[in-house]
Amino acid sequence: MYTKRDHTKLICDVGEITALFHDTLSMEEFLQKITVMITRHMECEVCSIYLYYADEHELVLKATKGLNPDSVNKVRMKIGEGLTGLALKEKRPICEGQAKNSPNFRFFQGIGEEKFESFLAVPILRGSVEIGVMVIQSMKKDYFSAEDIQVFRAITVQLAATIETARLLITLNDKKEKPPKPLLQDLKFIKGRCGSEGVALATTMVVNESLTDMQQYKVDGGKQYSEADLHRAFEETERQLAGLQVKLEAALPDMTALIFTAQILMLKDKGFTDSIFSLIRGGANSPQAIVEVVHDYVLKFSRIEDSYLREKIYDVKDVGRRLLENLIGHSKAQHDYHDKIVIAKELFPSDALKLFSQKIKGIILLSGGATSHVAILARSLNIPLVVCDELSLLSLDPATEVLLDASMGFVYISPDQFVKTQIFQREDLNHNISGLKKMTQEHPKTGDGVAVKFMANINLLGDLKAANEFKADGVGLYRTEFPFMIRSNFPSEEEQYLIYRRLVEGMPGKEITLRTLDIGGDKILSYSDYGKEENPFLGLRSIRLSFKHLDVFVAQLRAILRSGAGRRIRILFPMISSMDEFLQAKSVVQECAHQLKAEGKEFIKNPKLGIMVELPSIVEIIDEMAREADFFSIGTNDFIQYMLAVDRTNDRVAQLYLPYHPSVLRALKKVVDACGKHGKEVSVCGDMANDPKYLSLLLGLGLRCFSMDARYLPRMHERLGQLFIPECEKLTQEVLAQSQISRVTQILERVHS
């Protein structure tokens, strides 16, 4: 730690503060003088003052000594955003010895912050009233001591009332002339979160709330079009939509569900077509007639209370756009999003499929967690996806080139050639398929020869190819909910049977685990009747929903049992919270088997029945559950979420979602030990199973079966061969002995350094 001179004079010497007013012409200049004074007293290179504007919920940089002065009024952040925003949110000092390594660090291009290592932010408060944040920085690592924090807190308290007055006067002046918004051209780099790994370089297309914006198409009022021209436009539009549907069915047979049907039906609707031709016969030009009728239909749909039907606005506008383009000769209808990086506030699974059909390069999603259903779907479709909260991206010039490094969660705006070269060289290594195949073993083992099973998670049938190429030992988890999520109604038993049969035939001779419907939380069916819930993750989801919709549950179980005839399948029930729920689910399976036998249909007679370990309530009765169930699968995403009461899709508490929390690890150990005692297999799935850095910890807990997205199999095979069980067990014992998160963090950092 560096030694600095005594700072107490600053705390006591009011005269020095008063002297700041001398020859000061503005409040901004006064704040600037404060930053100069503090850098001198704290013997650091940077001091910055951020004022909080409650009406805009933003912190704005108003003065700085040491950073680029042009960044004043341009650097803005929300409460909780970056280390500065976190200090105000939590109303406490935030001190980092190497700020760039913090997961909460927010990088702003062009302000000159990258060379400063040590960071100390203290909120400026008057009681509970938020005034702003003061930040000091140094080029030296680990520069600020505990005494510095105390002194700096005292300074902010001393200056709080004065700075609040300055803010008030600045705000009054702002009403005449608002501070300039940050320029988009100044936005060069955004740190988000990985939703689906990969890299994409392309220009962007913003998906607004309707996927298409009718106002972007200028209607040529001079040229006249005949009814024959319009008929040809209808025929061409129908041909295009049918073609997209066929291509999507070929690529994703389990997911298409006729997603373009609504648009095709619009073209067949006499009310729609007659309205257009009626306006034309009344003297309107054809393009204008299409615009007016589409606008009328949009208004009608917008008044519908049912959210699923209201979403058909997207389909109406899509049909209108295609008709216009085919009529006036702009052949963009199939290529709106072709080779684009799509930016959207929110996407539904059906939206993602439509965009996939138009061969997009990548997605930047401005809401939703990285573990959401759209992210999972993007992984199976091999679409790079980054989740971030930079709303200014919605105003990005569509001609701007963007580099999406989704593997790291980074977005580069107008990247230079050096950045492009570095990232694509790394990505070429990651996508060397022949090299990846060499990393996989037919029978995976640790470095000391202990056998481990690596199973594949299957989201779409298309995932089977990678699962087979990378030698998956079977399917540890098939997520049956995806075929449900893009349909307009619950799929029938026969529809499901065809999908499940293709699944089991895709990995002949290997064990296949099908999880029953896991809907709810962040996976919503627009056609289900359970309505909006205040706490959907604690509401009617997963097995609870299956029990409520018993007819749907029965249809699914019958389809699973039929598909398993002559095959090795297992049935996995999600979100089981009690022995009663498992026994109830088991009885429904037995009743379905009885029905199928009476009907003379082929089916698997005694499938293994398993439980997803996701709820804390299971941990305390795990010994009894292990006697009753045939196998267990620990769903780490939900298990961590419910153990720690942290919504994994909520950015505000993302830093509290910790897989290595002592309580989580001790609970996992209890589950693994109980399953071992009763000779029942237990596997682990979820994001924790995908990450090589947790493999040694999980092996040390006693886990020998892992289920992961197929793309992660090679790197997990590679890591497995480097590990030895005694060392893993020693690490785990050391970690389990800790009760503090900070101590576990230190141990894991030591191991992975």
More confident residue, 141 or 530: 141
* Cβ neighbours, 10 Å, residue 605: 11
| pLDDT, averaged across the chain | 83
Q: What is the pLDDT of residues 34-52, one digit of tens each?
A: 899 899 888 899 999 999 9
Helical residues (DSSP H) of 385-441, grouped into ranges: 417-430, 433-439
Pairing of strands 453-458, 199-207: unpaired
Residue 2 banded pLDDT, cuts 50, 70, 90? very low
* pLDDT for the residue 334: 43
Residue 11 banded pLDDT, cuts 50, 70, 90? low
Residues of the chain with CATH 3.50.30.10: 190-428
Mean pLDDT lowest among 184-198, 201-215, 444-458, 569-583? 201-215
Q: What CATH code is assigned to 8-182?
A: 3.30.450.40
Catalytic residue among 7, 41, 373, 717: 373
Catalytic residue among 194, 685, 705, 728: 685
- Chain Cα centroid distance, residue 430: 22
- Helices 261-268, 227-251: axis angle to 10 degrees equals 160
Pairing of strands 474-479, 511-515: parallel
Residues of the chain with CATH 3.30.450.40: 8-182
DSSP state at residue 107: -
* pLDDT for the residue 328: 81
User: Which residue, chain included where needed, has tokens 């058909």?
Assistant: 312
The residues near 621 (Cβ < 8 Å, ≥ 6 apart) are 578, 579
Residue 177 banded pLDDT, cuts 50, 70, 90? very low
CA distance 61 to 46: 13
Q: Kindly state the percentage of the chain with pLDDT values over 90.
A: 40
CA distance 257 to 229: 31
Q: What is the pLDDT of residues 370-417, one digit of tens each?
A: 446 677 778 878 889 998 878 888 888 888 899 998 887 888 888 888
Pair 327, 229: CB distance under 8 Å = yes
Paired tokens of 441: 């073993």
Residue 639 banded pLDDT, cuts 50, 70, 90? very high
- Active site annotation includes 57: no
Residues of the chain with CATH 3.20.20.60: 433-752
Q: Is 122 helix (H, G, I), strand (E, B) or coil?
A: strand
* pLDDT for the residue 350: 61
What is the chain's alpha carbon radius of gyration, rounded to the nearest angstrom? 30
DSSP state at residue 580: H
Q: What is the pLDDT of residues 428-459, one digit of tens each?
A: 655 566 667 777 888 899 999 999 999 999 98
* pLDDT for the residue 103: 77
Mean pLDDT lowest among 226-230, 577-581, 738-742? 226-230
- Active site annotation includes 705: no
Paired tokens of 423: 């990232």
Residue 18 banded pLDDT, cuts 50, 70, 90? low
* pLDDT for the residue 335: 47
- Helices 636-644, 662-677: axis angle to 10 degrees equals 130
Q: Is the dihedral of CA 487, 492, 495, 501 positive or negative?
A: positive
Paired tokens of 143: 């520069």
The whole-number average pLDDT for the span 138-154 is 89
Name the phi and psi angles at 386, rounded to 5: -120, 135
3.40.50.300, 3.20.20.60, 3.10.50.30, 3.40.50.12280: which CATH number matches 433-752? 3.20.20.60
Q: What CATH code is assigned to 190-428?
A: 3.50.30.10
DSSP state at residue 448: T
Residue 178 banded pLDDT, cuts 50, 70, 90? very low
